[in-house]
Amino acid sequence: MVNGLKKWRLFALLSALLVFLAGCGQKEISTLIPAGEVAADQFNLLILSSAVMLFVIVVVVIIYVLALVKFRRSKLGDELIPEQVEGSSRLEFIWTAVPIVLLLILAVPTVYSTFDLADISTMDVEAEEGDGMTNLTVNVTGKLYWWEFEYPEYGIVTAQELVVPTDERVYFNLIAADVKHSFWIPSIGGKLDVNPENVNTFYLTFDQESSELDDGVFYGKCAELCGPSHALMDFKVKTMNAEDFDQWVAAMQEEEPAPVEGDLAQQGEELFGADGAGCIACHATSGTGTSGAVGPNLATFGDRNRVAGYLEHDEENLKNWISDPQEYKPGNLMPDDETLNGGEPFSDQELDALAAYLMGLTVEE
Amino acid sequence: MSSIAQKKGFGATIWDYMTTVDHKKIAILYLISGGFFFLVGGLEAMLIRIQLMKAGNDFLSAGTYNEVMTMHGTTMIFLAAMPLLLAFMNAVMPLQIGARDVAFPFLNSLGFWLFLFGGIFLNLSWFMGGAPDAGWTNYASLAIASEGHGIDFYALGLTISGFGTLIAGINFVVTIINMRAPGMTYMRMPLFTWTTFVASVLIIFAFPPLTVGIFFMVFDRMFGANFFDVTMGGNTIIWEHLFWIFGHPEVYILVLPAFGIFSEIFAIFSRKRLFGYTALVFATILIGFYGFMVWAHHMFTVGLGPTANAVFALATMAIAVPTGIKIFNWLLTIWGGSITFTTPMIYAIAFIPSFVAGGVTGVMQAIAPLDYQLHDSYFIVAHFHYVIVGGVVLAILAGTHLYWPKMFGTMLNEKLGKWTFWFFFIGFHLTFFIQHFLGLMGMPRRVYTFVGDQGWDLYNAISSVGALFMAIGVIIMLVNVIMTTVKNERVGNDPWGDGRTLEWAIPSPPPFYNFAQTPLVRGLDSYWIEKMEGNKKGMTFAEPLGDIHMPNNSFIPVVISLGLFIASFGALYHLDGDKPWALPVLIIGLAITFISMLVRSLKDDLGFHITKAELLEDQKRGETDGSK
């Protein structure tokens, strides 16, 4: 019996350990592995509150278990009528006062951190030396079901893949173009709603270069139900050091994109353009511009980590997507292939050409 | 009219229930329809867990998933949890205060039928072009953009059933204030009556904001009113405020009666007076009061600014104090008692750790900056299921076992009851504990699918297995109900043996007039006091035996509700513009409602008297089976 109990305990301990070891999730997306100052602050609050709450749970469990062990009727006999105690004002005082103290322990960092995370005093401040701002600002627009990122200071815009420098505050202005969304990069910091009626502003700090990650990017999510494809409204975040970031900005700012190489890709470009299927009416292929496009900007498509925000980045998925966008993101606003291609689906050859062209759109070396 | 037992035909029984104004029969109606919707909501939950069993599952399509998820939440809150609690309030509260019925028996019936027709209307959306799909919170920008009639079904259905709930709330408040037996002072009321009282007050204050919000929604969709249309200067955040000014107190409307049921159970099955009764009462009132001060903690990420967030964070934390007071008083109630592990008691004992877990995660989410991470992730899904399943549903299951004999005169099988408990309890923790970690690992809520290899696969699979366990538990419970009903072994006044309050002093089920003579209450736990003093009758009487005035049955509540039900279809299809029959249907429906209201107002209905002779005859037959 005792032996069995021991084994059972060991088993329980091991399985608990297993759960907790496996239980931190993945670096790309878990709030339990913070990769930014904001997420780290929030993680610390999580640990602090968990510790305080664990204390409460332990106290409750001790009284609870003792009561259940000591006062079973099977032990006390069927006839016993317990003393009908009315209460105790001393005890009432204790279990009113102690929780208040515990809550005060939580309240102080809560209030501090609430104001700290809302601090936008260094936003839009001109840098003392050189030109530009001290901090980067990104205007984020949430649309059904994709994200647009505009860098107003640099006059560039991209979509689906946010590119930011590490080790500095990045400010975000959030607004929704249609229904409400919520902007969330779990391993970098908490979410903020993307409302249709007002701009919400906050900051995040990115402490780790995403190239160190297995997947090369952090994962961003829409956290507010926004329609059928809410679950698929993902974006990715590429973080790089300031130098690389400046290079990326410069490449994006190139007015003249690199010429398209290869026959197939050139066919694709033609098909993509106004004389072909007219994709370009919604999808810009130049990184310069402002937000407000109908479809995601594709200037960096070849550099991206995913197709449509969540599919493996390969030609197969790209072609599938172009052939039938509704299959992969129900309710999205991209027209189907027949509408685009004058009543007929794209032929395999046309799809190959489009894929070759799009995969060649790149600003990174 | 005689109360002599007669064997009635099936049709006559149905007619009897459709016209009844007896709080005990209305309780049974609430129990059956609430139970039915609980099964529907449970089925929807199973569909959700099947879909999320593995990454990239295609069991449900994206749109269908959103409908199922929306209807699961809406059904469980409005059509299952609330009616089931109203069932117990109706069945027990008037007995606990020594009343012969509620203050407004006719309204009681009307409240039920409004709820039922509203609930049926909402669920008919499945067969009539699609269910609502904007979540049970129905946030405005998405709801306005939603195509089809789903949102209209939501808005109109909840309006009708909301009327019903509001009527029930008003009725209970008046009943408790006015109809207490002599000697039943406020501070002698059983805790379940107290929590019913506070929850009813909350209903009165919380439902109007929801009604206003839904009216805005209906006006926007039907008449292009633009309350929520941003492009026309509307504002969708207003909906969020209105919804949560209702929505947060709603949590307490559900959980306070649950606390009440558990308070009764702890005292009964520990054979001990509730420890700190006064503190429990004041904690209840305090929770109800605070419940209105904290709605914006559902909106920390909306961008209300640090001042609002900080204030609401602190207010929310404050609620933990009265809740903690309750937990410790319950612990001290069983401490020093004589605990017997009946099915209701096991539920109550399981409730404490489950609810504490839900409570502490609640405090964690009150920390606004931390909530930026937790909000709208699976962490919050875990949290509110710990509160609502671990608190409310466990209370409903416990209450079903506890009050079944009082409502039906026969005991649910204890062995099957314990099987139900273990399956349900283990399944519950298996399903939801792991979801805390899913949330922390970055999984948002309300997703119809997820991409594999993000560390979420195993936990989702475990969660789905847990749901299966819960389903098995519920099925065993159904078997139990059927077996018990078939066997029909009658029980006496106090089947648990340790009843403390007035309802256990009268037959199971009680005669339709409840108390032949109104009791005189001499302290808290009135029946226990009489029992301890050796009073075989279980009561001291406040009046001599005499004629009793009772209300007549009425079919009018069904007609009033049916009228609104019909009118709703007219309103809904009138939106289409191409259905000329819609407007007449709307008018006919409203006409039915208003004419039946007029009939009710103009026709005198004076009720009837039970004579002393009939009461004596009843008593001679041994005071059992009074309801037949």
Give chain B positions within 8 Å (CB) of A118: 305-306, 309
Is the CA virtual torsion B242, B243, B249, B250 positive or negative?
positive
What is the least distance, in Å, from the CA of B226 to any CA of chain A? 13
Most confident of A257-271, B196-210, B447-461: B196-210
Residue A50 lies in a domain: yes
Chain B residue closest to A331 (CA)?
Answer: B63
Domain that holds residue A337: 263-359
Q: In A, which residues are within 8 Å of B145 by CB distance?
A: 178-179, 227
Judged by a CB distance cut-off of 8 A, whether residue B237 touches chain A is yes
Higher confidence at residue B4 or residue B125?
A: B125
Q: Please answer yes or no on whether B141 and A196 come within 8 Å at the CB atom.
A: yes
Q: Looking at this protein, which amino acid is placed at residue B130?
A: G
Instruction: Identify the pLDDT of residue A128.
Output: 73
CB-based contact A32 B134, cutoff 8 Å: no
DSSP readout, A232-262? G--EEEEEE-HHHHHHHHHHHH-SSPPPP-S
In a domain, A127, yes or no: no
Q: Where residue A244 sits, what CATH number does that domain have?
A: 2.60.40.420
List Cα–Cα distances, A166 to A139, A163, A169, in angstroms: 18, 10, 8
Nearest by CB: B356 against A30, A57, A115: A57
Those residues whose C-beta lies under 8 Å from the C-beta of residue A56, and which sit 6 or more positions away, are A99, A102, B324, B356, B360
Do A174 and A273 lie in a common domain? no
Q: What global pTM score does this model have?
A: 0.93
Query: Residue A24 and residue B441: Cβ atoms within 8 Å?
Result: yes
Q: Distance between CA atoms of B486 and B413, rounded to whole angstroms?
A: 12
Inter-chain contact A221–B337, Cβ cutoff 8 Å?
A: no
In this structure, are A286 and A182 located in the same domain?
no
Chain A neighbors of B318, CB-CB under 8 A: 103
B278 Cβ neighbours under 8 A, 6+ residues apart:
A87, B187
Q: How many CB contacts within 8 angstroms connect chain A with chain B?
A: 298
Angstroms from A21 CA to nearest CA on chain B: 11
Kindly list the residues from chain B whose CB atom is less than 8 angstroms away from the CB atom of residue A41: 369
The parts of chain A modelled with pLDDT lower than 70 are: 1-23, 129-131, 365
Number of domains into which chain A is organized: 2
The answer to whether B373 contacts A178, with C-beta atoms less than 8 Å apart, is no
The secondary structure of B10-42 as a DSSP string is: HHHHHHHHHH---HHHHHHHHHHHHHHHHHHHH
Residues A158 and A281 in one domain: no
Residues of A with Cβ-Cβ distance to B346 under 8 angstroms? none
| Sign of the alpha-carbon dihedral angle for A43, A46, A52, A54 | negative
Q: For residues A279 and A316, state if they share a domain.
A: yes
- Give the chain B residue nearest A103 (alpha carbons): B317
Distance CA B78, CA B89 (A): 16
DSSP state of B392: I
The pLDDT mean for chain B works out to 93
Chain B residue with minimum CA distance to A197? B230
Residues A100 and A199 in one domain: yes
Q: Mean pLDDT lowest for which of A293-297, A360-364, B159-163, B345-349?
A: A360-364
The per-residue pLDDT for B627 is 40
Nearest chain B residue to A42 by CA distance is B370
pLDDT at B628: 35
Domains of chain B: 19-554+605-620 (1.20.210.10)
With respect to residue A286, please indicate whether it lies within any of the assigned structural domains: yes
* Percent above pLDDT 90 for chain B: 89
B442 → chain A, closest CA residue: A30
Cα nearest neighbour of B315 on chain A: A107
Q: Which of A201, A218, A253 is the last residue of a domain?
A: A253
Q: Which residues contact B602 (CB under 8 A, 6 or more apart)?
A: none
Are B357 and A57 inside 8 Å of each other by CB?
Answer: yes
* Cβ-contact B108, B23 below 8 angstroms: yes
Is position A227 within any domain?
yes
Instruction: Clarify whether residues A247 and A271 are in a common domain.
Output: no
- CA B482 to CA B626: how far, in whole Å? 22
Say yes or no for a CB contact (<8 Å) between B363 and A103.
Answer: yes
Same domain, residue pair A97 and A228 = yes
Nearest CA in chain B to A60: B328
Choose the final residue of a domain: A226, A253, A280.
A253
Residue A97 shares a structural domain with residue A192: yes
- For residues A64 and A143, state if they share a domain: yes
Residue contact B328–A95, C-beta within 8 A: yes
Question: Could you tell me which of A316, A362, A326 has the C-alpha nearest to residue A161?
Answer: A362
Q: What burial letters (b/e) apply to B146-174, b meaning 16+ CB within 10 Å?
A: bebbbbbbbbbbbbbbbbbbbbbbbbbbe
DSSP three-state, residue B606 = coil
pLDDT in tens, B392-448: 999 999 999 999 999 999 999 999 999 999 999 999 999 999 999 999 999 999 999
The alpha-carbon gap from B321 to the nearest alpha carbon of chain A, in Å, equals: 6
ipTM for the predicted complex comes to 0.91
Distances (CA, A) of B533 to A102, A229, B539, B543: 45, 68, 11, 20
Using only the alpha carbons of chain A, give its radius of gyration. 28
B616 interfaces chain A, CB cutoff of 8 Å: no
Is the same domain home to A249 and A267? no
A349 domain-assigned: yes
| Structural domain includes residue A82 | no
Q: Are B62 and A67 a contacting pair at CB < 8 A?
A: no
pLDDT level of residue B12 (50, 70, 90 thresholds): very high
Same domain, A155 and A192: yes
Point out the domain boundary residue: A207, A228, A253. Answer: A253
Q: Same structural domain for residues A226 and A193?
A: yes
Burial class from Cβ neighbours inside 10 Å (0-12, 13-18, 19+) for residue B79 reads: buried
Interface test with B, best of A114, A145, A171, A199 (most B CBs within 10 A): A114
Record the tokens describing residue B431, joined without a space. Answer: 């399903």
Distance CA B599, CA A290 (A): 66
pLDDT for res A10 = 58
Is residue B278 packed enough to be buried (19+ CB in 10 Å), middle (13-18) or exposed (0-12)? Answer: middle
Dihedral (CA of B523, B528, B534, B537) sign = positive
